[in-house]
Every structure is written in structure tokens, then in C-alpha cells.
Chains A and B, each alone.
Chain A
Amino acid sequence: MLKEYSSLISELREKLVNCSTPHDLANIKSYYLGKNGIISNEFLKLKTVSSEERKILGSNLNNFKQEVQNLITRKNTKLSETIKETKQVDISLPGSNISIGSRHPVTLTINKIIDILGRYGFDTIDGHEIEDEFHNFDALNIPNSHPARDMHDTFYVSDTKLLRTHTSSVQIRSMLSSKPPLRIMTPGKVYRSDSDPTHSPMFHQIEGLCIDRDINFCHLKGLLTRFITELFGRDMEIRFRPSYFPFTEPSAELDIKFNGKWLEVLGCGMVHPNVLSNVNISSKKYSGFAFGLGIERLAMLQYGIKDLRMFYENDLSFLSQFKGLK
């Protein structure tokens, strides 16, 4: 390259170093590459020299032009990056237009359970909340004279219709409408005439039912142990102990140890043969297990909520604590 060009290049480099705005760069660009810029003028000069000289000068000039273009492009790229950097962004200021709501802790808990059990093949079934005595009691081996009816303080809406006291009624309807094998879970609202800091007249339950050939008590234990581990995300200290439900035999209660205390979280058992015969399933051919748990109680454990009434007050300061959870 001609010496003249080399010095022009160094001059350009220097200018570029000092150039800090796109506006300055545009000026530099037009100074070199513009219509009346240095390079245009040099090309004009070529017209006045001999063809041999033109050949050499031309090639030099092209190299020079190429170099200038490269330098300016590079600076331009750099400058466009530095533009954003020029003004320090205060990243501590609040983000704009944040609009995140929340799902209710009761639904969060139900969804978590549905998610886990779904993987073991349990389908979610929705059912009626207003039920009759047959589906809520009789079919479940709780005849009218049965002391177990005392455990369910029932709301009635007519002589025969009531607000379901558990979601087991949905299991009865499912067993009546489809043949085994069956794996279903039934989340939903249930009602009992009881109200204090630990009881609400309306609350939520989820129950599971599995009817198939050769289902036994060890399967029940296997599934529920795994379920609890997956629900809490870690191994929990649990125990199974005998209990009583009219619709299961044997019946069990699953307790979890929390802060050194055993807490009852889940009732379960092998489906009572009377229940199976009430829904026309042969207990010779099929067996199964059922389990049920109160959602609020579990949500209280998981999130450390102390008062049941918080769930239905719907205070935004309460609800918004659950934002981002799925």
C-alpha cells in the first residue's frame, strides 16, 4: 500500500478510537467513503494517470477502500453495542407490567395429587355435589341405622337429597356406569355440618379407587407409600394403622410424622365386598382398594397455614403468596 494510504489508515484508526457516537462515525464515514470523500476523489484522480499506473494505483486504492470499510464496519458494530452501555441501566428499578396471579392453595394441592396419581393410571372424575342417600350412604354400606352416619353431619336439601359428605358417591356412580378394571380419582367439594377453626361446613376431598383382578393390601401400601414420598418430595416417616370405615375392610389410616407428632392424613382400605355387590361387581373376581384425604388439611401442612378459614376468606394478601405455583 502506498505510504500516503498507510498514513490515512493510521489517521482513521486514531479518529475511530476517539469516535464515540454514531453521529461522529457517520461524519467519518462520509469523510472517507462519501460522494465527495477522500476515496471518491482518489478514484477521480485515477482518470488522469496512465493505464499501467492506473492498474497499480487502482489495486492499491481498492485495498485501501476495503480496509477503510472494514474498520468503519467494525467500529459501527462496536458502537451499536456500546450505545446500550452508554447510559447505565438501573436494573434495580421495578419491572413493568407485572401481572401474575395465583392458583388457590386448595387447587394447587388437588392438581399436585392429580398429577402424581395420573401417572399411576388414575383418571379424574367429576361428580354431583347434591346426592341421594343411596349413593352417599346406602351403597357405601352405611345403612340408616349405622352409627357411622353420626360421623357425617349431613346437610339435607330435601327429604331424599343431601349435600354429599364425601366424594365416595362419585366412586359408586363410576362403578355402576363402567365395568372394572377401574382406576379413578374424584376431587371435589364435600359438606358436613361442622364449623370451627379446624372444621368448615364445606371442604375438599380427593378419593382414589382401584378395582382390578388380584389387587391386595400390599398394593395399597405400595402405592400410598410412593404417593406420600412423591407428594412431599422426600421420604416421610409414615405408619399404617387399623381404622374403621364402613366401605372398606380391612380399613387403615395413614399417619405422617410431623415435628415429632403423628398426624392422620389419609384413610384407606380394601373395598368392602358389600360395596362391590351393591354396584354389581363380583368380589370373587375383582378386588380393590380405596383411599381418601382432606385437601385443606394437607395444604395446611404443606404451606404452614394455621387457620382453615383463611382458605375461604380469599384475602389477596393470602392468595398472592401462592403466585407462580402450579
Chain B
Amino acid sequence: MKISLNWLKEYLDIKDANQLLSRLTSMGLEVDTVTKLKRDMVIDIDMTPNRADCLSVFGIARDLSAVYKKKIKQPKRVKLSKKDKSFIKSVNKKISTSYGLLLIENFDNTIKTPKFISDRLDLAGISRINFIVDVLNYVMIDIGQPMHVFDKDKIKGKLSVRFAKKGEKIKALDDNEYILSSEVPVIADDNGPQAIAGVIGSNNSSVNNKSTSIIIESAFFDPNLIRKSSKKYRLQTESSYRFERGVDPLLNDFALGRVVSIIKDYLKVDKYEYIHTNSKPIARHIGKTVNMDLNIFEKLLGEKISQTFVKNTLSYLGFKPIIRKNKIKISVPSYRFDISIAEDLIEEVARVYGYDNFTEMPLPLSQRPLNLKSKKSINYFLDLLSSRGYNEIITYTFLPKDSQYNSNVKTSVINVLNPISEDKSEMRTTMMHGLLKTAKYNISRQNPNIKFFELGKIYKKHKDNTISEESVLAGILSGVNYETNIKQLQKPLDFYDLKGDLLSIFPNLSFKGIKNLDHMSSSCQSHILQGQKIVGLCGEPSLEIYKQFNIKNKILYFELSTELLNLEYNIKYKPISVFPKIQRDLTLVVDENVSGDDIIDAVERKSFNYMINSKISDIFYSKKEFGADKKSMTIGLIFQDNKRTLLDTEVSEEISKIISYLQDKFNAVVRK
């Protein structure tokens, strides 16, 4: 909200402008920007939604009076006496509990708006319309009461405050036509709605220069109803902005008196009529009192605040505090919609005391011991990944349509009902899209060598309509292993680089080739296992995905469920042997379809004497030597005993056992 310094000075004696700015902020009326003018200053205040009472110059002055410790001046007004309500047909109490109209005949709206008014409206950023509308807007900024004016000659019959009938229409002042529904409060005459109550008036009954007979409406409207209308039609006006936050229900006749006091200086107002209706209680929050212990101020704030300070502060702000012994009873003024409990009043006192004036106290030790187990997190492993060359990325968790890839999950996709755009409309069921998109983005920006990982959630809807979230670590790699280097060690990344990276970080994973995933390449897809449990998958994406992203470079992808993955290893030390190891290589020719794991699993499971390690160390294809359906594999075997040095013959004996075992099992032949 923009206010002028001079205007503020009309109500409060302010000497130092800089002090004012810092006091505004310290009171919670945060100064956003300040524009210095020749003889004035415009202060733009960021108003928090609870401070409806400060949406006027007078309201701000009233708030500041507590910190200036000075009384404020009251706005000038003419006291109006009530007449009958002959011009009001009916007022629905749900909509308005205090409704006032001021009829002025023989009105001259051709008068030029006085300069001080038009200048101040300019400063406040409110456009000028005509004399009476400008005056009403001026009074709104001045004391906070939004008002509306009808041209009496355009009103047919009496006015009623009622809910709209379904389908009723209104051509509003913004030139739009709104179709109304039955929960929208309106001001209507015999022709239908002439205003959406508290939000906007109709074109049909609006005042112009030529209007000579006017009806000014000044009312209290239910904040929730105004808020609903404003939201429904996406219409936020200066009026609705104030009504939905709460306009002082006792202010409306005061405001009309203020209007009369202003226009009387420019125009002879001899014939006016004031009509007012109200029902009790005017508003739910009027007459609120809060009873509290005085010691609660110190208990919650941590600092002793004197009774006098509490009492004076609250009085300046318009509360009526009565202190008896250790208790305080506080009546809340009608304009403070935001105050209902003790803590609200503690804040009132604290902000006048100044938040910066409270001491900084160290937080005492927690009375609960730390749960250190929960601190063991995936984070450490992500650091390891990044030290192996992976860059961590974060991508949007909502995806464009048709980018979930895995056809198995299509039915579990969760849609955003009000997406910000088409490309962010489905919650991801896989991390693949974000990683591929990032890969593509970088490859097309001359960064073909990539290793990325992302830790994030995937979201699924189940048949019973429940929703689940799962934390997933996924990664992608492409390009060469190292940037150019003088040792020429560069080579393209392949599946084994991916596998090596994962095993370096999670040493107890194993891999099992599969064929059933349609979003992965049929020649390179694998489950990732920890023990017997499937914890993830990896491999190359399907050709279709390559095509869709128009990626020509080889891509490798993995994903691990960090919820299934066990990150706690139970390590128990095993004594180490001091006797020498004997290493033997065994090169076999086997069928093409026998995998490395087949051989190693078989050898490990059979548990040959003294064998402590076995590993595939080489693989070799030669059509010429052993035909297309065969391959040669070298197994590196290590033998060792705990109690003595092994004899060569003992090892040879085990080797022959292994050979004959593999011969039986896989038809393996020792390569000559």
C-alpha cells in the first residue's frame, strides 16, 4: 500500500522521516520502496494479510502512535442522523450486518476534483474518475472504508442486499459481463444486480459527470463472502481487497460523515438523507475480550516487560486493558479482526517493544537424546558418486504427457489437476525422463561426456486410489571415461563402467540380466540386487527412447530404490592369512550364452579347497579359432590357506577339479 508522508502527518506528529521508515518496518509494516518528492515522500508498505486495520493512512497512524507514544488526531466528519430505511428493500444479514446509504439530491458532479485529492490519489496509484468517486476513493485510503456510488436516476425501485439468483448477469465497471451464481452477494434493484457486493459496481447504474442525484453505499460485508466472490471472478479491487480482510464494522456511518465533511467545502449539500440498518451482533468479533496472566508475556518472550509498557502500548493501539493483580483483561477494538488470543496480544506488545531489542539467548540442550541412527543417510554415498565424476542434478518432478516410458506404470500416473503448463502435468513414475532430458540438453551443448545422478521421489497411484512416494537414486552416463589426457587412456563408456561405478560405491550389489522391460534395450538390461532382493535396474534405454530424444550417443542408465537399498553394512573382522597366495589363470572355451556370472557362481557355490577368490579377467571372441557360437573366458583364481604355505601340487589338483566340474556343467574346454 502506497501512502504519502504529508497525509500521515495530518494524523500523527512525525519529525524525522528516516526514523519513521525504520519504525514502520520494526512495527511489521515493512517499507518496500520509498520515493522522495519535492515536498512529500511516497512510502510503499508491504502489508501482511492480517493487518486489515492498517489499510488506511489513519490506521497506519494509529498503529504508529504506540511506538511514537503520541496521541493521534481524529479525522474531521459531519455527524449524520439516521432516517428511516425507506430506500432499502431488504438486507440479508448473512451478507451485511451494517448497511448505510446516503442519498444526495441536486448534486453537481461536474466539479473538478480538488488538487490535494487528485494529487494524493495519484501518489496512492488510484486512477481518477470523477468528483464523487475520487472523494470516495480518497476517504477509503484515508480511513479505510470502501464505498460505492450509484446514480439514483438509474436505479429502479428500492435496493436490496441479497444473494444473486442463478444465471443473473451483471455488466461490471471493468466492461466485463459476469454470470452470477447463488452464493454471490449482490446489491440489486428491480432490474437486477447493480453491484457484486463489496467487489465491483455495474455499468448500468454508475455515476458520471452528469449525475445529479446519487446514492453512496457504505457498509460492512462479510469477509468470507467477499473473498469467495473475488476469487470466483478473479476480481481484486481496492474494495474487495479491504472487505475480504475485514473493514471495521463500526466505521461505515463515520465514513459517510467524513465524505460529507469533504464535499461540503466544494458544494452546497442541502438535501441529503442518511439511511442505515444494522443487526446485532454487527460482527462476530466485536466485543471480544481476552483474559490473560501477566507473566505469560515474559514466559513466551523471554524478557521482562513492565506492566506500564504493556498497558500503554495496548491503549495506544486502541485496546482497553484492565490490570488486576497478575491478570489483565483486554477488550479488542472492532477493527482488529486478527486478535483473539493471548499470543496475539503478546505479539502486539513485542512489536512495539521492538523485536531487535530482545536479547539473544542460547538454546538449552535438548531434553531428548539425538537419534543418530537416522543421520546415517544416503548423502555419504552421493558424495562418493560425485567423487567418481558424477554431477548431481535436480529436475522437475512433473513431466510432460507420455514421458513415463515404462508401459507397466502408465495406469499409476498421478495427474496435476491444475498444471502450470502442459509440460509439467504428470507426476513422474520414473526418474528416466529428467535424466534423459538433461543428457540431451548437455550433449547438444557440446558436452557429450556426462555422468549425472539425481536423488528424488517417484509417485504412484494404486488401484485402491492410495498414493505412494518412493525415494530413488538414478543416474545416466554417456561419452568417454576421461577427457583427453596425455596417457591416451580414453575409451567410450559402456555397461561395465556403470557397473564398476555402482560396485565401487555399493560393494554388495549384484546384477542379473533380464529381458522383460520394454523401455530398456533388449540386449542390455539388468536387475540390480542386494542379496536376493531386487533394489533397482540398469542398462541401455530402448531404441525407441533413443529415437524420441534424438540421441545418437550411447547412453547408460541406472536406478536404485534407496528405500529398498540397505546402507548399513554389518562388518565383522575375519583373521587374515600370513601365508602366500597362489594365483592361477584358467582360460576356457564355452558357449556364447554362458555368462561370466554363471561360471563364477558355479565355482563359488561349489567351494573348492583353498580357493578364496575367482573373477573373470578376460573375454575373447574368435570365429576362426573356436567358431561364432563360442567364446574364450579367462578366470583368475586365487588360492590361500590359513595355516600353511600351499604346495603347487595341491593347487594343481584343485584346478583340475574345477576344470572337470566346469566341463560337466558348461561343456567348457580348456583353451590350448
Residues of chain A whose beta carbon lies under 8 Å from any beta carbon of chain B: 93-94, 96-104, 106-107, 111, 118, 120-121, 123-126, 128-130, 145, 147-148, 150-151, 155-158, 161, 163, 181-183, 189, 193-195, 201-202, 210, 212-219, 221-223, 225-226, 239-244, 249-253, 270, 272-274, 287, 311-317, 319-320, 323, 326
Contact = CB atoms under 8 A, between A and B. Distances in A.
The 6 closest A-B pairs by CB, nearest first: A242-B28, A218-B302, A99-B389, A216-B302, A250-B347, A244-B48
B482 A98 contact: yes
Contacts of A130: 414, 427, 459, 467, 469
A107 B380 CA distance: 12
26 contacts: A97-B485, A101-B388, A102-B386, A104-B393, A104-B394, A120-B363, A130-B469, A155-B419, A157-B414, A189-B397, A213-B367, A216-B300, A218-B361, A219-B363, A221-B360, A241-B28, A241-B356, A243-B28, A249-B347, A250-B347, A270-B300, A273-B343, A312-B395, A314-B442, A316-B445, A319-B392
Contact of B358 (A98, A163, A218, A243): A218
A200 to B, nearest CB: 9
Contacts of A189: 397, 456-457
B406 interface: no
A270 B49 contact: no
Nearest to A202: B396
Nearest to B385: A101
Contacts of B350: 217, 242, 250
Given A156-B417, A216-B300, A222-B362, A124 B398 contact: no
Nearest to A193: B420
Given A156-B417, A240-B356, A181 B367 contact: yes
Contacts of A250: 300-301, 343, 346-347, 350-351
Interface string B282-314: 000000000000000001111100000000000
Contacts of A182: 368
A12 B480 CA distance: 55
B420 A195 contact: yes
B394 A311 contact: yes
Given A218-B359, A244-B48, A249-B341, 4 more contacts: A155-B416, A157-B427, A239-B356, A240-B355
Interface in B410-430: 414-421, 424, 427
Contacts of A147: 49, 227, 244-245
A101 B387 contact: yes
A60 B396 CA distance: 87
B12 interface: no
A294 B351 CA distance: 24
Given A216-B299, A216-B302, A242-B27, A101 B451 contact: yes
Interface string B614-651: 00000000000000000000000000000000000000
A106 B227 contact: no
A271 to B, nearest CB: 10
A157 B51 contact: no
A223 B363 contact: yes
B472 to A, nearest CB: 13
A101 B386 contact: yes
Given A147-B245, A216-B302, A102 B355 contact: no
B486 A94 contact: yes
A128 to B, nearest CB: 6
B237 interface: no
A101 B27 contact: no
Contacts of B356: 239-241
A316 B440 CA distance: 11
Given A124-B375, A145-B224, A212-B367, A93 B486 contact: yes
Contact of A221 (B359, B394, B395): B359
A210 B302 CA distance: 15
Nearest to A148: B49
Given A163-B416, A189-B397, A242-B347, A181 B366 contact: yes
B396 A312 contact: yes
B379 A287 contact: no
A319 B427 contact: no
Contacts of B181: none
Nearest to B443: A316
Nearest to B355: A240
B595 to A, nearest CB: 28
A206 B26 CA distance: 25
A311 B438 CA distance: 12
A67 B451 CA distance: 61
Contacts of B303: 217-218
A102 B358 contact: no
Interface in B365-407: 365-368, 370-371, 374-375, 377, 379, 382-383, 385-398
Contacts of B368: 121, 181-183
Contacts of B389: 99-101
Nearest to B379: A111
Nearest to B487: A96
B419 to A, nearest CB: 7
A156 B445 contact: no
A226 to B, nearest CB: 8
Interface string B464-499: 000101010000000001110111010000000000
A291 B481 CA distance: 44
Contacts of A93: 486
A156 B386 CA distance: 35
Nearest to B435: A314
B452 interface: yes
B258 to A, nearest CB: 26
A103 B383 contact: yes
A150 B394 contact: no
B190 interface: no
A104 B347 contact: no
B567 to A, nearest CB: 14
Nearest to A245: B48
A174 to B, nearest CB: 12
A222 B364 CA distance: 10
A214 B300 CA distance: 8
Contacts of A125: 374
Contact of A222 (B28, B30, B363, B366): B363
A316 B442 contact: yes
A282 B49 CA distance: 28
Given A158-B417, A212-B367, A314-B394, A272 B383 contact: no
| Residue from the set A99, A317, A326 with the largest chain B CB neighbour count within 10 Å | A99
B454 to A, nearest CB: 8
A67 B638 CA distance: 46
B245 A107 contact: no
A72 B489 CA distance: 40
Contacts of B231: 150
B344 interface: yes
Given A189-B397, A216-B301, A241-B28, A96 B416 contact: no
Nearest to B382: A103
A270 B370 contact: no
Given A129-B457, A157-B417, A181-B368, A313 B358 contact: no
Contact of B447 (A129, A251, A317, A323): A317
B347 A251 contact: yes
Nearest to A251: B347
A200 B442 CA distance: 21
A145 B226 CA distance: 11
